[in-house]
Amino acid sequence: IDADVLITGAGPAGLVLGNLLRAAGIDCLILERQSREHVENRARAGFLAANSVRVLTGNGLADGLLRDGARHDTCAFRTDQAEFELKYGELGTGEVHTVYPQQFLVTDLIAEFLARGGEIRFETEVTSVSGTEATVIADDLLLRAEYIAGCDGQHGVSRQSVPARIFRRDHEISWLAILAEAPPSMSAIGYAIHERGFAGHMARTSTVTRYYLEVPRGEDPAAWPDERIWDELHVRMAAGYHGELKRGPIIERRIVDLGSRVMDTIQRGKLFLAGDAASLISPSAAKGANLALMEAEILAGALVAALEKGDTTALDRYSADCLPRIWRAQEFSHWMINLLHSPPGYGDEALFLRGLRDARLESLRVSRAHQNFFAENYVGI
């Protein structure tokens, strides 16, 4: 046997799981396709919900986050002539986000996992996983474990070994995800609803800001040089009216097709999925990394009970424990998609859906009950 637990993938899910298992003295090995440098520099999400911060803090994984993370408690919805802010930290359950770029979190989690005596094999590609045999093939080598955690993300192989019914939706919406070497232009998370499509603004650090632009499906990011991006953001975020954007070089431009996937089970024999391998959620409500951490915590507890006490009750109901939370996050994320987009064009149906979107936004602007619902779901699950 090569390890008690073999983990495929060194993203937030695999690394948090590995750290929690090491804290309980369980021997585990992480197999990661990319190099350490690659995963430590891969900019992705950045908004950690209160529960994620609790998981990290409660397990000694929050030093960097508590030192360098920033509290975030406000979002703003804007149109051409109007803007309203929701101070979600004062609404709902009063929880806030902590902004800490994912690559910093991943860097911290790798260092801590190694310090706890864990092993990571970088540049090692897993090509097949068997939940019934509890084996993994990586770089033509057969590895055995008591349990396998499939944390290899959206494009990984482990979920293919879970025979499940898959429920999915392609939202037929694409975003150009942009990272700009520029300070945030506003203190809030900004959601701009515009005739030409959605635009978003999210702080990352004092010198880097994430923006999103809705673009047609199949768009080539190369068609978006820096100046075109800033000019389009200027128009959609109505910067002439609400205040100029702080421009800077674009350091990443990538297309994200908004899609959602849920499986009716996320386990098979000795194999358990967590993170983007278990479910895919559109980035509209920044739930992906938070779901990954929630699942990693539940799975860690269940694996410790099984390995230390021979009690598999929690492992047996792992899917049943996670799926209702996954669905709730999906539901809210879906609601956000419909708040931020409407189909292009001026046909009867497009205009009908636009009318609904505007009414939804207006309800959010004026109804305290609606705002509380939003805040509760936006930061919690």
Q: Which residues of this protein are in contact with ligand APR, per CB under 6 A? A: 8-14, 31-34, 39, 44-45, 102, 125-126, 151-153, 155-157, 275-277, 288-289, 292
Q: Answer yes or no: 270 catalytic.
A: no
Least distance (Å) from ligand APR to the CB of residue 98?
15
Least distance (Å) from ligand APR to the CB of residue 346?
34
Q: Answer yes or no: 184 catalytic.
A: no
Contacts of 198 (CB under 8 A, 6+ apart): 175, 191, 192, 212, 213, 214, 236, 340, 341
* Sole residue written with tokens 């009970």: 305
80, two tokens? 């051409």
Residue 148 or 237: which CB sits closer to ligand APR?
A: 148
* Sole residue written with tokens 């499940």: 164
Alpha-carbon distance of 202 to 80, in angstroms, equals 19
Q: Answer yes or no: 309 catalytic.
A: no
Least distance (Å) from ligand APR to the CB of residue 365?
29
The active-site residue out of 283, 318, 334, 341 is 283
Q: Residue 72 is which amino acid?
A: H
Residue 156 or 197: which CB sits closer to ligand APR?
A: 156
The active-site residue out of 88, 191, 211, 212 is 191
Contacts of 166 (CB under 8 A, 6+ apart): 261, 262, 263, 264
Strand partners, 117: none
Least distance (Å) from ligand APR to the CB of residue 203?
17
The active-site residue out of 72, 97, 270, 341 is 72
Contacts of 141 (CB under 8 A, 6+ apart): none
Which ranges of the chain does DSSP label H, i.e. alpha helix?
Answer: 12-23, 36-40, 50-58, 63-68, 102-115, 226-236, 239-242, 288-309, 313-316, 318-340, 348-366, 368-379
Least distance (Å) from ligand APR to the CB of residue 158?
8
The active-site residue out of 97, 201, 270, 287 is 287
Alpha-carbon distance of 290 to 283, in angstroms, equals 11
Residue 179 or 238: which CB sits closer to ligand APR?
A: 179
Residues with catalytic function = 72, 191, 283, 287, 378
